[in-house]
Structure 1
């Protein structure tokens, strides 16, 4: 069976092969042409109006070529492009630096452009790479600048504070052999996976969930609610179905946990697909643990009882979204922001739809979650580019100055208009996010205080939060409103992020820090097959075509077919780290 996950893994494996061949070609080119002496941080001063300052302009116009990650619908105003827009003009006005795009692409097309640039030896001056493996490839072939000195000298205190909020994990991901080789994007902890339940259906059927009001419910409560929804069909669909799950089972990114079983796994303290370190210091794979076996047993029992969608294993992501929109199912597992892009389709079909958000607790009343990999995207600078400090300055401009300027409408009016009208963030020079580890809850605090009138809009940290305050006020003034944006922002921020804030303050989370993320040498050859083995084995167990003890067979096969070798490589890599 060809699965969505195995297809993705195969593409990743092929791409790594291209990168490996490309690296060989670049090595030959470098040997023939010699190397370029890298500029130092001090060199920049002779070109700058105010040498060494975080926002210093250049005396004469400089140029920078870029590889740009685009999106299908950036919402740019007429006449503006990725290369010439309010954000690139802001760079020109601030630094006297003109951006030219060497290539623009999205998704796998962008990955191919990066591979081709490496193969030809013609890298743009700056570009985004989307994995630690790509970063290592570039470092191993001496293709990118060491940014240690320019980061130390040019990064603002705020940018340093943002990166430091990850306790060294963000910059650590971008550091190889003690050198900062890229500027990392940041990925916030967005746990837990939530259980979104149709509140209007609960009210209709007189079901009371979460009696103690702590925001956490049990698997038994989910099961009983699902049975009532199936029996009484509150959506009047005529064909109610159990809880639909994607067949990818789980995820190591809570941001992408829509329709997965990660929440169920958490009740058993299971972390499938995470690399973890045991008390003995040994590395193990979360999908092969006894806790994961227990999770699969629960899912198998649910499937047998009809609690799970009988077409589990065959539904696409869009099929599942349609089940909710059609009123066939009223319990959805997903992240805090699923109302903004998934459950909003339910509101569009049923104006009375409302959801409440809960999370699942374990037998001890705790919520088990894993820290996100804080960075897996990096901005890199071509070896030999004369102005590597410009990369740090651009980060300063967009993720400090623009993000925190209280009078942005006056100081940067074009950029402010983009934010107000929802122009996509990919149109910034770097298509990354750089936010502090606490920014999600900081924004929530601003929104709540703004709604209550405790702070003015001018005191709110971000334009996005200002816009969310307006939307949520619209919803609160009329909860039956047809304004789907107001509905979704209320559900995602007040219900979703509000739950994370509550659980954080009440210390309900038990955090696990993954031991490793990335790719080892043998994974390039074996991981696609190992992932396929895992997925197909889990589907067989859940749907009952194999008994629960088949899990033990899966573990044996997984270890024999390359899993043990991967573990050895991870342990070796971790041991070698300074």
Structure 2
């Protein structure tokens, strides 16, 4: 059996928006969006499913008599009045409409769920429904403790569920092994972490510049922002570009987008033309990127103290009117919104990553996943998991959503967290952008859902003079980060990280050492404390210290 491994990158929530059901999985805490439950090998006492007749056919067929499905759950505050974790709109809906009675073996707070799951893993008593992280999933899979869901998924998954899991990529990839499916993922999409270029447009206009169409033009703008007094204060007190101390591993103010313009993909696993998986940070294109960054640092274009600043400190520098350009993401307005206020002329606009040559730039991106939901080996009704997920998607996004989503989502919009399995619409933000822009053009928000309407209202307030609402305009408006993502989609300009599995053995044992070597070497090169040719020695050392073995393990999985 092909072994499963997990990507070492963290899953991001697409947007940390607390006001509605916006949270799908990026800066938001996974503790609330995950059912970190346990599972253990060899559970011999199956749930009491009664003498249920053969389940009704179809995605929403009801069991008669009802069946029981044992599960586990984390505590949640997002319950309708009078509901409890054990008895709520979701559990009652399962029972009344599907004939599935969900019973929890345990309920714990999110902080203790991981440890409780580990105890369950070791106990020998698996619940029927398993909500686990990727490492736990790997353990169960290798122990032969999971049901093959391939046939029941094809038979029972609703068309909408299948559509969600095929949005932008194969959203079930981490749950597949040897061409079989062993679980359903909490898949949030593959678009929202696309890098892009953010430019301070009032400075651009002051200098009579145009948005850069090439990377050379971008560097020219960086130079102008550092040398030509873009804020018109008569002082030499500005930098062209901001970085943060974690470089390619950081959030905003990192040069990932800059690297992508040179067809370099730091920290990214992808297949080359021969079909072999490569690690982007060690390829020759990366050396070119570091050389360009070193040149800009020596010329004074980059904040000289970036190596001591995390994302928050880097953001403070930008908001103190010191910097005119940075590479960021869809959510970057949150990092600079503090400077958009009365009395300030500051404004920022996002642009696609320009290329350094005549070959179009591809931006690197990751598929975002949370929990994997699986079924213990031997449970009589594995298709029940599929039906529960069909139910969740239907109540929140299907034909019945207009009438019932308010009940299932509650007044907070976060009611989905009371469900033992959940899936929000993957890549939903680009669809929100399309709908909001259409409503703005028509000046008619009547067709928008609750979440979309909140963004429409925010944009309207900003345009009416409330600058605190600026981020709505820049994330979902006509000239926004989602517009850039839409351009990437239209131009097929996204390259996905191939590694979506639990960490390999070498990633676990050597990943920290290799990551430290990479960061320290790259910072020294940019600072000019090491020559650009030090990159060659880095690659050699990286391979000797475990990188070569790690690449072998990755290729064993991906080939």
Q: Which TM bucket (shorter chain)?
A: 0.7 to 0.9
Q: What are the superposed Cα offsets for residues 463-500 of structure 1, whole Å, 9 maximum, x if unpaired?
A: 42233233323334x1x214x3x421211012111122
Question: Hey, what does 1:488 align to over in structure 2?
Answer: 471
Query: Could you tell me which residue of structure 2 aligns to residue 224 of structure 1?
Result: 223
Instruction: Indicate how the Cα distance of structure 1 residues 240 and 221 shifts in structure 2: closer, same or farther if over 3 A, else same.
Output: closer
Structure 1 residue 558 corresponds to structure 2 residue 516: no
Contact 1:185 1:432 (C-alpha < 8 Å) held by counterparts: yes
Structure 1 residue 319 displacement after superposition: 1.7
Alpha-carbon distance in structure 1 between the residues aligned to 2:342 and 2:318 = 10
Task: State how many pairs are aligned.
Answer: 520
Secondary structure of 2:482 counterpart: helix
Greater helix fraction, Structure 1 or Structure 2: 1
Q: Distance in 1 between matches of 2:78 and 2:321?
A: 32
Find out whether 1:450 has 2:422 as its counterpart. no
Asked whether the equivalents of residues 68 and 431 of structure 1 are also in contact (C-alpha less than 8 Å), the reply is: no
Q: Give yes or no for contact 1:377–1:432 (8 Å, CA) kept in 2.
A: no
Q: 1:154 to 1:481 in 2, by over 3 A?
A: same
Q: Distance in 2 between matches of 1:334 and 1:258?
A: 5
**Deviation per CA, 1:311-340, whole angstroms, max 9, x where unpaired?**
22221222223334444434332111222x
Per the alignment, do residues 196 and 342 of structure 1 end up closer, same or farther by CA in structure 2, a change over 3 Å counting?
same
Identify the residue that residue 333 of structure 1 maps to in structure 2: 327
Structure-2 change in CA distance of 1:147 and 1:473 (3 Å): same
Aligned to 1:19: none
Deviations 1:400-423 (A, max 9, x none): 442133x645334423543xx443
Is 1:522 paired with 2:506? yes
Match of 1:140 among 142, 147, 156: 142
Partner of 2:461: 474
Give the TM-score of the pair, scaled to structure 1: 0.77
Match for residue 11 of structure 1? Answer: none
Number of the residue aligned with 2:528: 544
Contact 1:326 1:349 in 2 (8 A): no
Candidates 369, 373, 384, aligned match of 2:363: 369
Aligned to 2:120, which of 97, 117, 120? 117
Distance 1:510 1:412, change over 3 A: closer
Secondary structure of 1:269's match? Answer: coil
| CA deviation vs aligned residue, 1:128-187 (integer Å, no higher than 9, x gap) | 3332x43221111123322223312221112122323456x3334311133211102322
SS in 2 for 1:46: coil
1:85-130 deviation digits (Å, cap 9, x = unpaired)? 55555545543534537244447x5444433332333444434333
The answer to which of 320-329 and 137-146 deviates more is 320-329
2:398 to 388, 399, 404: 404
1:392 CA drift (Å): 1.6
Q: Secondary structure at the match of 2:314?
A: helix
Name the CA distance, whole Å, in 1 between partners of 2:540 and 2:516: 15
Q: In 1, are the aligned partners of 2:439 and 2:445 still within 8 Å (CA)?
A: yes
Q: Deviations over 1:47-105 (max 9, x none)?
A: 76xx133223444665545444678xx66677666556555555455435345372444
Task: Indicate yes or no: 2:499 matched with 1:501.
Answer: no
**What is the alpha-carbon root mean square deviation over aligned residues?**
3.9
Contact 2:433 2:483 in 1 (8 A): yes
Task: Return the alpha-carbon distance in structure 2 between the equivalents of residues 172 and 99 of structure 1.
Answer: 29
Q: Which residue matches 1:359?
A: 352
Secondary structure of the equivalent of 1:367? coil
Asked if the contact 1:275–1:517 (Cα under 8 Å) also holds between the matched residues in 2, the reply is: no
1:53 pairs with one of 54, 58, 61 = 58
Deviation at 1:386, TM superposition (A): 4.5
User: Is the CA contact (8 Å cut-off) linking 2:73 and 2:108 kept in structure 1?
Assistant: yes
| Contact 2:409/2:415, CA 8 A, preserved across alignment | no
Aligned to 1:332, what secondary structure does the other structure show? strand
Q: Provide the secondary structure at the position in 2 that maps to 1:276.
A: strand
State the partner residue of 2:152: 150
Within a 5 Å distance, the mapping from 1:175-574 to structure 2 comes to 175-186=176-187, 187-190=189-192, 192-203=194-205, 205-210=206-211, 218-227=217-226, 231-233=229-231, 240=238, 243-251=241-249, 257-339=251-333, 341-347=334-340, 353-362=346-355, 363-364=357-358, 366-373=360-367, 375=369, 377-405=371-399, 408=401, 410-415=403-408, 417-418=410-411, 421-423=412-414, 426-430=417-421, 432-435=423-426, 439-453=428-442, 457-458=446-447, 460=448, 462-476=449-463, 478=464, 480-482=465-467, 484=468, 486-494=469-477, 495-505=480-490, 507=491, 509-518=492-501, 519-574=503-558
- What is the rounded CA distance, in whole Å, between the counterparts of 2:75 and 2:218 in structure 1? 41
In structure 2, relative to structure 1, the CA distance for the partners of 1:105 and 1:417 (3 Å cut) is closer
Query: Gaps (5+ residues) in structure 2?
Result: 1-7, 11-37
Q: Is the 8 A contact 1:191 1:369 kept in 2?
A: no
Per the alignment, residue 24 of structure 2 pairs with: none
SS in 1 for 2:316: helix
**1:242-282 alpha-carbon deviations (Å, 9 max, x no partner):** 6332333225xxxx852221111011100111223333343
* Contact 1:215–1:359 (Cα < 8 Å) also in 2: no
In 1, are the aligned partners of 2:389 and 2:422 still within 8 Å (CA)? no
Going from structure 1 to structure 2, the CA distance change for 1:82 and 1:574 (only over 3 Å counts) comes to: same
1:343, 1:267 → 2: CA distance? Answer: 23
* 2:106 aligned with 1:102: yes
